[in-house]
Amino acid sequence: MDFGQNDNLRVSNAERAHVSGLLERAVADGMITLDEFAERTDAALAARTRGELRAVLVDLPGMDLDLHAPQARVVRGSVEPEALGGWMTSIVRRGPWTVAPVINLNTRMCSTTLDFTSAVLPGPVIEVNIDDYLSSTELIVPAGATADLNGVDAIAGSATVKVRNIPQPDQLHVIVRGKVRLGSVSVRHPFGSWLRRLHGG
């Protein structure tokens, strides 16, 4: 990073979004906590100058404000991403299944349900990379969990989030990225969770 150069220049929404994406990557890689992610994201969205944006990334190695600079990616130990996919089939994960920190989902004319409510989670953040065509994907997250679908490009399709999108301390946060073509992806809590919260359950 070239500190001190052009730090007083105003920043665009594209630069703010770029930095927010880098922060999502940093929390997914364990470089910052969810609390730090929330604080830094707020600071990035409120930033007016390049200097203010640079300050958000100052201690994150390999991450640069420059939209066109190559960005480093920290490898998550030896844990491999999980690949799920199929043609004209149904993919279901429920119960105490072991979740990888990154799930690559490639579906064609499929119905997919990933239920994280009783799953064995790798940490507070799960990243789902989706490549969908004529398919429906439903992610069910525990009460209190949050999700971010801002990285989903829906082409003649839909991306619906029915949970909060700001990460909460000690709660699961799911980040979904990729393309949905003529299909849908949604994130919700289990049915009835709002009623249990209403009654203090």
Specify burial of residue 65 (Cβ count, 10 A radius: 0-12, 13-18, 19+): buried
Last residue of a domain, one of 74, 108, 124: 74
The answer to whether 110 and 90 are in contact (CB under 8 A) is yes
User: Distance between CA 170 and CA 196 in Å, rounded?
Assistant: 20
Same domain, 180 and 113: yes
Domain tally, the chain? 2
Q: Note the pLDDT tens digit of each residue in 47-78.
A: 898 889 889 988 888 777 765 544 434 434 44
pTM of the model: 0.64
Least confident of 70-79, 88-97, 152-161, 187-196: 70-79
Structural domain ending residue among the three candidates 27, 48, 74? 74
88 and 178 share one domain: yes
Q: 127 and 48 in one domain? A: no
Could you give the CA distance from residue 134 to residue 44 in angstroms, rounded to a whole number?
36
Q: Tell which of 74, 90, 122 closes a domain.
A: 74
What does the block give as tokens for 113?
Answer: 């349900």
Q: Cα-atom radius of gyration of the chain, to the nearest Å?
A: 18
Q: Which phi-psi region, left, alpha or beta, contains residue 46 (left: φ > 0; alpha: ψ -120 to 50)? A: alpha
* pLDDT of res. 5: 54
Same domain, 20 and 102: no
Q: Across-strand partners of 173?
A: 125, 146
Taking only the tens place, the pLDDT of each residue in 172-196 is 999 999 999 999 999 999 976 554 4
What SS3 class is residue 173? strand
Asked if residue 186 and residue 94 are part of one domain, the reply reads yes
